[in-house]
Amino acid sequence: MTFFAQQDWNGRGFVGGWSELDGTGTVTSPATGAELASVGFGSAGDLADAVSLAAAAQRDWAARPAEQRAAVMRRAAAVMEQHTDVLVGWLVDEAGSGQGKAAFEAGLVISELHHAAATALMPYGQLLQSSHPRLSLARRRPVGVVGVISPFNFPAILGSRSIFPALALGNAVVLKPDPRTSIAGGLFLAAVLEEAGLPAGVFAVVPGGADVGSALVEHPDVPVISFTGSTAAGRVIGERAGRLLKRAHLELGGNNAMIVLPDVDVAAAAAAGAWGSFLHQGQICMTTGRHIVHADIHDEYVELLAEKAEALRAGDPATGTPLGPIIDQRQRDHVHEIVTETVAAGAQLRAGGEYTDLFYQPTVLAEVRPDHRAFTDEIFGPVAPVIRFDEIDEAVDLVNASEYGLSVAILSGDAYRAFELGDRIPSGILHINDQTVDDESQAPFGGTGASGTGARFGGHEANIEAFTETQWVTVQSQIQRYPF
């Protein structure tokens, strides 16, 4: 039997197995406009069915020994390794990913599975001192059903980093993927877990629009929501979750800065800047959105960065072009609006600034000011705004002027000096002598300010904190005596 054969899942969701939902939606290639497949589109009723099945299945799943849950994760990793090419193909076709980016993302999914298997076997409590002659301990217990809402840009990994650790720790998961990437970001993951032997009902995929996401957030039997997406949507989800006394783990937008100090290898710095701004067409929350470059090397840096932008071409990634399309017309128009407004306000267009269909060419903007939209806004496109600075204090102020706090990079010939400078910049991630985009399953991931609620992904500690509750337990040999 062919793994992930389209006839098995076309037009369906995954609720207790491959199932018909109330509606269907068409999946279209952003590169070619071709119809790729259809998926089931759920309703609030479908979502309720998925949660009901998940809540029932979770009890038996949580009661299994941790080693059995870990074994399912390891088998899923083996399935992924065997069928990596299938996921890569869907990431290219459905998400517009370049071949290299798609392969990298598939590798991250495998790493997340191995890491989740290890998380299942981690220590899960503490022995506590007590004023009574008894055993006193704190232990972590699964929360029950975790709701995951994932985005389009890295659809497989940005869902996986919540799904797999939550499952490994004994929870059930209901996933609402972005409707534009419901195959690579949802149905494929369901097929992997099913093949690995995950019990029916423990994991569900209900594609759909904002109404399905809202129903997931509001459902009384889903105590934890893990959301990756825009800051605007995250604020709404966080507000609703707070009203319902739920936990919401929010990984949101970013307008990430890279400080380039005057003692760097300028060619190497420009290469890092190009990668940080143009990888996956800039559609990454960690994309380098602000290049803050010392005046002594500013002109050389801009020239080299523009050369790299001109050498990169956007096109159909299935043909091997390094950059693919913007996800849809609305997002492309948003990118172009920011570029044209910034140029009209006085910035210099040094490369790009044009598009064909959804293919937006890598763009470099020089002489950018702090009040320009390209500097203040998250663009989510292949645009590199460059601003100059003279003094270190000025660079720090430019970075800290943003409401976002996800990832910051500092490039310097003196790495320790850069490290000390990082202490002055609040940010969830700090990279010295690298650009702003990176991810590893064992590393904590999350931002501050408008970028989210801190590191709730990556690493055993963050995952256990995110997807379990703490319970205090005492045990004594005889019933405690009381005076009445």
Q: How many CA atoms lie within 13 A of 304 on its CB side?
A: 17
Distances 466 to 52, 81, 288, 390 between C-alpha atoms, Å: 22, 27, 27, 42
For residue 201 the two structure tokens come to: 């009902």
Task: State the amino acid at position 437 in one-letter form.
Answer: V
d(CA 444, CA 407) in angstroms, rounded, equals 12
Question: What is d(CA 469, CA 78) in angstroms, rounded to the nearest whole number?
Answer: 30
Tell me the two tokens of residue 400.
């800290």
- Six token digits for residue 205: 């995929």
- CA–CA separation, 95 and 454 (whole Å): 27
Strands 23-28 and 35-41: antiparallel
Facing residues of 176 across strands?
149
* 58/226 Cα distance (integer angstroms): 18
**Cα(8)–Cα(89) distance, integer angstroms:** 18
Q: In angstroms, rounded to a whole number, what is the distance separating the alpha carbons of residues 291 and 302? A: 10
Q: Is 5 left (phi over 0), alpha (psi -120 to 50) or beta?
A: beta
Alpha helices, DSSP H, located in 132-187: 155-168
Do 207 and 47 form a contact (C-beta atoms < 8 A)?
no
Give bridge partners of residue 13 from the DSSP assignment. 19
The percent helix, strand, coil of the chain (3-state, each to 5) is 45, 25, 35
Cα-based angle 233, 238, 239 (whole degrees, multiple of 5) = 100
The alpha-carbon radius of gyration of the chain (Å, integer) is 24
CA–CA distance, 198 with 207 (Å, rounded to integer) = 20
Give the position of tokens 């992997």: 192
- What DSSP string runs through 121-190? TS--EEEE--SSSSEEEEEEEE-SEEEEE--SSSHHHHHHHHHHHHHHTT-EEEEE--GGGTIIIIIHHH
Which residues are known to be catalytic? 251, 285
